[in-house]
Amino acid sequence: MAFKVPRGTQDILPDQTPKWQKVESILRDLSRVYRYKEIRTPIFEQTELFQRGVGDTTDIVQKEMYTFDDRGGRSLTLRPEGTASAVRSYVEHKMFGYPDQPVKLSYIGPMFRYERQQAGRYRQFVQYGVEAIGSADPAIDAEVIALAMDIYQTVGLKDLKLVINSLGDKETRDAHRTALINHFEPSINEFCSDCQNRLEKNPLRILDCKKDHEHPLMKSAPALTDYLTESSAQYFDQVKKYLDVLGIQYEVDPNLVRGLDYYNHTAFEIMSTSQGFGAITTLCGGGRYNGLVEGIGGPDVPGIGFAMSIERLLLALEAEGVELEVEDRLDIYVVAMGDEAKLKSAELISSFRTKGIAADMDYIDRKMKAQMKSADRLGAKFVIVIGDSELEESAVNVKEMESGNQEKVPFHNLVNYILDHK
């Protein structure tokens, strides 16, 4: 029987991992610069956390979660997103009591959603995200957006578009909800069953429907921004002022609602405008979620965050033809001729590695010519050949592969020589 990876998953092979490592390094560096400290939460949580946190009416909860009962009969779910878990940890560990607020968290790891596999979209995918919990200041909204934009610009992307909207406060949402019901109800039978179910439960979700997004009523639906309360409008204006001060260009899209129930006030998406990227252009999404902390058992504490798929980031790099500078160097390759030479090679390689010198040798007893080809193929900067004469002299010729220059170096000075010249 031939085994294959499960549908919707992928193997990231050794020739691909340097790109992933480079992106992850950039993410961690910028997290440090912006002071978002890493949190690591379990891959599975109680199912109710996502039902309450993400929202019963979302596609994620209704269709996409990997849920199972453990041996104790408890319902558990592989995490479909990171915010609910981060907020759960914030509440459980009473981070709201920390003297420095907001608490700024970052995370990176696998998430799981049962959905149709598409380019850059998998059932197991890697997500980076941040959460700033404990501040209702518009400035932190702008900071979170700035961090997301900084990430994409740092990796080298240029074809980007930032879209923002305000989802308002509860009064705004209630007024808009009534307007949406009145707008869609007369023709709701023309919509999919999901939209029909959402009409009374959460009509805002209709605007996020993938099946009916071309329906004429979608384009003429009441804009949420028309129902903003004075305080919500002022808040949104302040967010835009901070983005202006930071020099971040944006577009306001009244139909941007995001796919999760916990969002309010600021919502945003960053999209790729590259020609070769594909139909689904969203790279990153986020927004403010005042009320979520209280909804899962904590105090009434505001928060804002975003999440991005690493797979889609790499896809955007490919679409723009951006090559990441990755480090995959081999400093020295040791060619051994004979058993005694092989023992000496192992000893030397160990001494190289203890000093941070990347070193390798042959382990399948190939001829000298094959070993030299291997050194060239692996991109070794230096090569040394150890045979009987080198063992007798306790010295080797160190060959620099690019120039072809050689220099005789005693065994005892090899480490220092490579360190001086690598």
The answer on whether 81 is annotated among ligand-binding residues is: yes
Q: Is 262 annotated as a binding residue?
A: yes
Question: Cα–Cα distance between 278 and 272 in angstroms, integer?
Answer: 9
Task: Give the CA count within 13 Å in the CB-facing half-sphere of 251.
Answer: 11
In tens, the pLDDT along 6-29 reads 999 999 999 999 999 999 999 999
- Strands 124-133 and 359-361 turn out to be unpaired
123 is in an annotated binding site: no
What letter represents residue 150's amino acid? D
> Residue 242: how many CA atoms within 13 Å on its side-chain side?
16
Q: Going residue by residue through the chain, which has 422 residues, state the pLDDT in tens, using 9 for 90 and above.
A: 899 999 999 999 999 999 999 999 999 999 999 999 999 999 999 999 999 888 776 778 888 999 999 999 999 999 999 999 999 999 999 999 999 999 999 999 999 999 887 777 899 999 999 999 999 999 999 999 999 999 999 999 999 999 999 989 888 888 888 888 888 888 888 889 888 888 887 887 788 777 888 888 888 888 888 889 999 999 999 999 999 999 999 999 887 876 556 678 999 999 999 987 776 789 999 999 998 999 999 999 999 999 999 999 999 999 999 999 988 899 999 999 999 999 999 999 999 999 999 999 999 999 999 999 999 999 999 999 999 999 999 999 999 999 999 999 999 999 999 999 98
Residues facing residue 127 across a β-bridge: 109, 309
**With the CA atoms of 149, 155, 156 and 157 taken in that order, what torsion angle do they form, in degrees rounded to the nearest 10?**
-50
CATH of 17-169+229-320, one of 3.40.50.300, 1.10.3720.10, 3.20.20.140, 3.30.930.10: 3.30.930.10
Tokens in use for 350? 């160990």
CA distance 177 to 183: 10
Q: Which residues belong to CATH 3.40.50.800 in the chain?
A: 330-421
Report the distance separating Cα 39 and Cα 104, nearest Å. 10
The response to whether 320 counts as a known ligand-binding position is no
> Is 263 annotated as belonging to a binding site?
yes
Q: Tell me how crowded residue 117 is: count the other CB atoms within 10 A of its CB.
A: 12
Report long-range pairs for 193-198 (Cβ below 8 Å, ≥24 apart). 194/59, 194/62, 197/57, 198/57
Domain with residues 330-421, CATH architecture:
3-Layer(aba) Sandwich (3.40)
Question: pLDDT for 247-285, tens place per residue?
Answer: 999 999 887 876 556 678 999 999 999 987 776 789 999
DSSP element (H, E) containing 31: helix 17-34
State the DSSP code for 39.
-
pTM of the model: 0.89
Listed in order, the ranges of the chain carrying CATH 3.30.930.10 are: 17-169+229-320
| 83 is an annotated ligand-binding site residue | yes
Report long-range pairs for 90-97 (Cβ below 8 Å, ≥24 apart). 90/131, 90/133, 90/293, 90/298, 91/293, 91/296, 91/297, 91/298, 95/133, 96/133, 96/134, 96/293, 96/298, 96/299, 96/301
The C-alpha atoms of residue 318 and residue 259 are separated, in whole angstroms, by 26
β-bridge mates for residue 220, sequence order:
none
DSSP codes, 285-309: EEEE-TTHHHHTTS-S--EEEEEEE
Cβ(337)–Cβ(176) below 8 Å: no
Rounded-to-integer distance, Cα 267 and Cα 285, Å: 8
Question: Known binder of ligand: residue 115?
Answer: no
